[in-house]
Each structure stands twice: as structure tokens, then as C-alpha cells.
Amino acid sequence: MATSRKERVSITQVAKEANVSIQTVSRVINEQPSVSHKTRERILKVIEELGYYPSRAAKAMRGSSKTLGIVGYGLELYGPSRTLIGAQREASANNYGVVLELVQDLEGVDVRAILEMMLSNHVDGIIWCIPHIGDNLDEVVKQLERVTIPVIFTDSAPGMHDLMVATNNYVGGQLATRHLIDFGHRAVGLVTGPMSYFSARERHRGWQDALRERGLPCSEEWVVEGDWGAQSGATALKRLIEHHPELTAIFASNDHMALGVLYAAEHLGLIVPDDLAVVGYDDIPEAAFFHPALSSIQQDVVNLGASAVSRIIRVIDSLAIRGRYLPETVVIEPRLVVRAS
């Protein structure tokens, strides 16, 4: 079923709700002094309650700005930075400019401020590249009810929103674990990322189901939660081997933690892969230069960013022509890159 464009909140509605004239609302919006403090406060309260963004009217009169908003994070990190590169390239190829907003606190995003900034820049659509952590996307979805431009997510649970492009973390977890099982391992431990992350939970679920489908144990005692960093991977392996020496393989939920696992294995006198096999996740460029070279799950994060942009542009075009768009979820499948570990 097609999703209709949400009804715009108009300046007329604001004026009616605040019991003032349209001209008075306009004067408040344009910060003109000829309005009493009490009336100004009442109008501003109504604007906030209704979620009225003044830039919408101007944008509607002007037409498409050929500009996209991207909300991202972690330029120093491989996955997030490559996603942004893919998005930027695709936008440029379609003659769209980009307004980029980088977020520092992933669990405390000021959604309203970001949306107001994006709308003041007259963007035609937004790509939300913040990972799904705990309930951090709940406020985003709530605020989107007040926004008439399309927003697409690159990391969220299915069903949270009607536009999404994501990598299949569940299948990635399965691929990594099945690879280790196929090499004869029956006791496979997991160094997971923070379980508040939806991606970490999905990789954990993939590990779990891959073991269960082969009739193998998948004890939660074989799972240690890391923080995505190498040190946490090293600490996790030492803990796992100390309490569960029967483990002969480790699936690490990202390559940085896998690097820590390899480092700790050497210090524990374990030879990889003879004594302990290791598979990471992300296939960062440095993975081929680990010692030994790391087998890893490859995510096409550049394509993730590009696909999000191509689909948001398609939605923008559909809204302009038909006034509606079809919900769409695109899942990009990962692949296993086998090396020496």
C-alpha cells in the first residue's frame, strides 16, 4: 500500500490554535519586536506543540533544493566513514548537494535540533546513519511524525520506519559461525559488541542459530561482551580461555576486537589457527595484514550509503510526481572473506 505524504502544518493552523492573526505569527517567526512577550510565548508554544517548521512553506514555494541531509558519526571509524563516502558519491552523481551533521553522543541525539537545522537548510530528504542503540531511535521516529520530507535509516530494526537500507547482521553472524563449524570446531565462543546495539544483537543471534542448527551447544557462558575496541577483545579472550579452555574457535563481532583476540592468543601461547581459529567482522583494509591474516565478514558499507541516497532520491521524485511513495526495506547481504586465521 502506498504511503501518503503527511499533511503539512501550516501557518494558518498555528494562528488559529494561538488565537492570533497570520501576520502576528509571521512577525514572531521573523523575530519582529511588535508583539507582546505573552503573545510571543503563546505562539512559540503552539509552534512547538504542532511541530511547525517555517522553512517548509518557503521550500514548497521554491521547489526542490537538490540538497540532502545526512546525519552521521565516526569519521575516524571504517564503517561509518565509508558509508558517508558512498552517500556523498551517489549524491554528487545525481547532482545533489549534501548537508552533513555529525553526532557525538549516539544515545543522546538532539533530534529536534537536528531536524530544525536540516529543514532550515531546505533539504529534500534525510539519510539517518546513526546506529540503533537501545531506544535511541524512538525519539527520531516520534519527531518524524512532524516532518513532511522523507527520511531513510541505515541501521534500525525492521518495521521501525517505512524506509530503510541495512546490512544483514544476522546472516553475517551465521556465515562466520558456520565457517568455523565447517572446519571442525564444536566449541565456538563469541566476543560480542555492546548488546545495546541492534547490530551486535543480530550477530549474536546469527552465532546462536548457526550452532543450534548443527546441534551444537551455544552456552551464554561462551559469550563475553566487548566495546568494539581491541583491548576489550584481548580481555575477552583471556577470560574465555581461563574459564572455558574447551573453546577452539572465536567469532569476534568486529575486526578491532578480533585483533585483540589475536594479540591475547599469542600471549597465551595459542597458535592461530592451529589451537584457536578466529573470524572477525567488517573486513577492514588492515585485516589482510594481521598476523595471521584475518578471515572476516565483509559488509559493503560504501554501497550501503549509495543505496540509501539512490532510494531517498527515488522517494523525493515519487512525492513530487504522485504525492506518495511506497515503503521500502533494502537488505544488503554480507560475504565471508577467508584468510589464514
Q: What is the mean pLDDT of residues 195-218?
A: 97
- Residue matched to cell numbers 583491548: 231
Per-residue pLDDT tens over the stretch 158-205:
777 789 999 999 999 999 999 999 999 999 999 999 999 999 999 999
Would you place residue 245 in the very low, low, confident or very high pLDDT band (cuts 50, 70, 90)?
very high
| pLDDT confidence tier of residue 31, bands split at 50, 70 and 90 | low
Q: Which residue has the higher pLDDT, 253 or 10?
A: 253
Q: What are the CA-CA distances from residue 109 to residues 13, 74, 112, 138, 139 (Å)?
A: 29, 14, 9, 11, 9
Q: Which one-letter amino acid corresponds to residue 281? A: Y
Mean pLDDT across 148-155: 90
Confidence of residue 56 (pLDDT cuts 50, 70, 90): very low
DSSP letter at 133? B
CB 211 within 8 A of CB 186: no
**Dist CA 87 CA 221 (whole Å):** 40
Query: In the prediction, which pLDDT does 68 show?
Result: 97
* pLDDT at residue 209 tops 90: yes
Mapping DSSP to helix (H, G, I), strand (E, B) and coil, where does residue 21 land? Answer: coil
Q: Residue 145: which pLDDT band, with cuts at 50, 70 and 90?
A: confident
Of residues 230 and 137, more confidently modeled: 230
| DSSP assignment letter at 292 | S
CA-to-CA distance for 80 and 127, rounded, in angstroms?
13
281-295 residue pLDDT tens: 999 999 999 999 999
Angle, helices 22-29/37-50, rounded to nearest 10 degrees: 90
Tens digits of per-residue pLDDT, 114-134? 988 898 888 999 999 999 988
Is residue 60 over pLDDT 70? no
Task: Please report how the helices 111-120 and 55-62 are oriented relative to each other, as an axis angle in degrees rounded to 10.
Answer: 40
Check whether 340 has a pLDDT greater than 90: yes
Distances (CA, A) of 222 to 7, 134, 215: 51, 23, 16
pTM for this prediction: 0.80
- For residues 324 and 3, is the Cβ–Cβ distance under 8 A? yes
Please give the pLDDT value at position 5. Answer: 39
Residue 39 has pLDDT above 50, yes or no: yes
Nearest Cα to Cα of residue 189 among 239, 256, 263: 239
Higher-confidence residue of 2 and 186: namely: 186
Q: What is the pLDDT of residue 28?
A: 83
Arithmetic mean of pLDDT over the chain = 89
Give me the phi and psi of 323, to 5 degrees please.
75, 15
Q: How far apart are CA 160 and CA 106, in angstroms?
A: 18
User: Cell numbers 519586536 label which residue?
Assistant: 33
Phi/psi at 262 (5° precision)? -60, -40
Over residues 28-46, mean pLDDT: 83
Considering the chain, what percentage of its residues have pLDDT values greater than 90? 64
Q: Which of 137-151, 295-309, 320-334 has the highest mean pLDDT?
A: 295-309
Distances (CA, A) of 177 to 200, 231, 301, 329: 14, 22, 21, 26
Say which amino acid occupies 240.
L
Q: Does residue 300 have a pLDDT over 50?
A: yes
What interhelical angle do 169-182 and 198-213 show, nearest 10?
Answer: 40
Q: Please report the domains of the chain, with CATH numbers, ordered by start residue.
A: 3-52 (1.10.260.40), 63-166+301-332 (3.40.50.2300), 169-298 (3.40.50.2300)
Percent of the chain with pLDDT over 70: 94
pLDDT at 321 over 60: yes
Q: Give the span between the Cα atoms of 334 and 329, in whole angstroms.
A: 16
AA identity, residue 189: G
Please calculate the CA angle 7-13-15 and round it to the nearest 5 degrees.
155
How far apart CA 4 and CA 162 sit, in angstroms, is 12
pLDDT at 54: 57
The sheet carrying 151-153 orders its strands as: 97-102, 67-72, 125-128, 151-153, 163-167, 328-332
Specify the pLDDT at position 3.
36
Q: Which of 82-86, 284-288, 328-332 is the least confident region?
A: 328-332
